[in-house]
Amino acid sequence: MSKPMTKTQLVAALAEAMGSDKKIAGTALDAVTQIITSEVANGGAVTLPGIGKIACRARPERLVRNPATGEQIKKPADRQVKMTIAKALKDSVNG
C-alpha cells in the first residue's frame, strides 16, 4: 500500500487540474473543508458526488469495558462522523 497523499500534494494536484496557482487551490480546499465541517457539526450531511456522503450520527449511552482492568463503565451519548463511499468510487477502485 502506498503512502496517503499529503495536503501539499493534494493542493498541487488541485492547482494543476484547475489551471491556477497553489495559493488559490489551497484557499479552495480550505473553504470546502470548512463548509463540510460546519455542516456536519450542525447535524447535517454533505454529499460529494462520485466520492461519498459525510454525515454525523448520534450514538446512545452504552457500557464499555476498560481493557486494562476489565471494569465496565458507562459511556455517555455522543456523536460520530461517518462516511459512506459512493458506488462509483468503489467500482472504479475494483476494476
35 shares its domain with 60:
no
Domain assignment of residue 95, given as a range: 52-95
- The grid cell for 64 is 464499555
This prediction's pTM: 0.78
- The pLDDT tens digits of the residues spanning 67-89 come to 999 999 999 999 999 999 999 99
58 shares its domain with 38:
no
Q: What does the pLDDT read at residue 95?
A: 81
Count of domains observed in the chain: 2
Can you tell me the distance from the alpha carbon of 15 to that of 38, in angstroms, rounded to the nearest whole number?
24
- The pLDDT tens digits of the residues spanning 18-60 come to 999 999 999 999 999 999 999 999 999 999 999 999 999 999 9
33 shares its domain with 58:
no
| In the chain, % of residues over pLDDT 70 | 99
Alpha helices by DSSP H, listed for the chain, are 7-18, 22-41, 87-93
pLDDT at 1 over 70: no
95 shares its domain with 58:
yes
